[in-house]
Structure 1
């Protein structure tokens, strides 16, 4: 998929080195096709890294995609420069009259808080309500998935006895669901969180489908039956070394944590971890863009 991104975006040279198809804005405007317009609500602290990870996964399709970035107006991130936000990001007020074919809501390091205690929760609720009639399909990641389950379907989260971190095996349940096309019967996926959605409520909710399950991690993929919402409880967008960096960060903070499960070769933190979920991530994003967004979105929004 050719991704149309600003020339100065820090993710651009990284993606170009990986031979990701990056399209110039002037070329994009001359192509006689209807591009997909996506909105990315980036709640992660390291915004530049998250931009690169997600843009990489949006590249694996023949469709042309335009991406707009927004951040919360009610909370100012401390891990990104103000100039980066001013140059590449907008706030919700600037885009709320527009319509988007798809939206991605990222995770956020606020899962220890009740939803209503999150500083920008009211803004999140406004955005999620707006998405009901302004976005064809929304992809929610980790805390973003828990927020969507809570707000749209009344399913709360609960704390784990200890943080789950590592790579876990999942078994496919809904083999005929469009999101699962081409995905193996068993697959590995990374998780990193301290809370879980209450899975028995998901399993029995009339509007939701659990697409897979894992004894250790619970389901990775949950979809609404109307295809408007996809919830990913893990972090399939992560790079190979991201869990390791989180592990080292926690140790440096004096937090007692176990090494990520099934992550380091030979369970040795001195060996470089391998990305064993890359094909899953590319295929899932491609399926979402094709079947839940491109095939369903109107050619022209009213």
Structure 2
């Protein structure tokens, strides 16, 4: 990692963990053709140095929640403080400072019907030094989520992908009182052992194991790999706010999902109806993507590009 990039084995390990964040080191080692000790040593080095972390990510719909993408504009010098406060909250995901230093973009998980004192309706609009707020409700995800991002998950051949991919059973989620505590523990460390998770929930290891499997099988929980895109060779990340003709919304979204630059894409409410996060190697690559890939999509009427300058929080909780 002297070059500032992950080497081939680290990339393959990251891809394996994207496929199954709780796969045993022995399983991953067998598929990748290396020793258990090598995989364990690599993972522990990446994890302890803060380069890589596996986190459990709740899916909003099975839990009776919705996702909002919130765009805040702040007075100068206030954005960093407000973004830090948002990153500490349990109901926020992916908090980023955008170009110019006065704008924040973040994901918020909220109840289907938020009360008047909630983050979106009550707290953010009254936050001092917030100039404006626009909230986009996520209606349909085309890219991202359990599928991961090709920029991070393209290191393994299909035969190894098939050997590692976990297929949920497709059961219906049935909530239990200990689920919030279990989800919180997994958001901190998706590979926490069963004794740690049991202690967090106050239940036995066997009960905790069953709840974890139920959350995964019902689609209420998936595992993601947090890693800086720059270490994968994509130091320039940006959010694209696209205005697309309604008749082309579905086709444009499906097309974005095939672009290797796109880490996330979703149809939303709001002034822009299609939002995407992209990773590129440099300005020239971003320009080429905007001019050629996006420029060739039918129905795209307008694109606003907002580079990210710093990401304070991805999908897990903040480390203490």
| TM-score bracket relative to the smaller structure | under 0.3
**Structure with greater Cα Rg:** 2
Which structure is richer in relative contact order (CA contacts within 8 A, separation 6 or more)? 2
**Which protein has the bigger strand share?**
2
Query: What is the TM-score normalised by the length of structure 1?
Result: 0.25
**Which protein has the bigger helix share?**
2
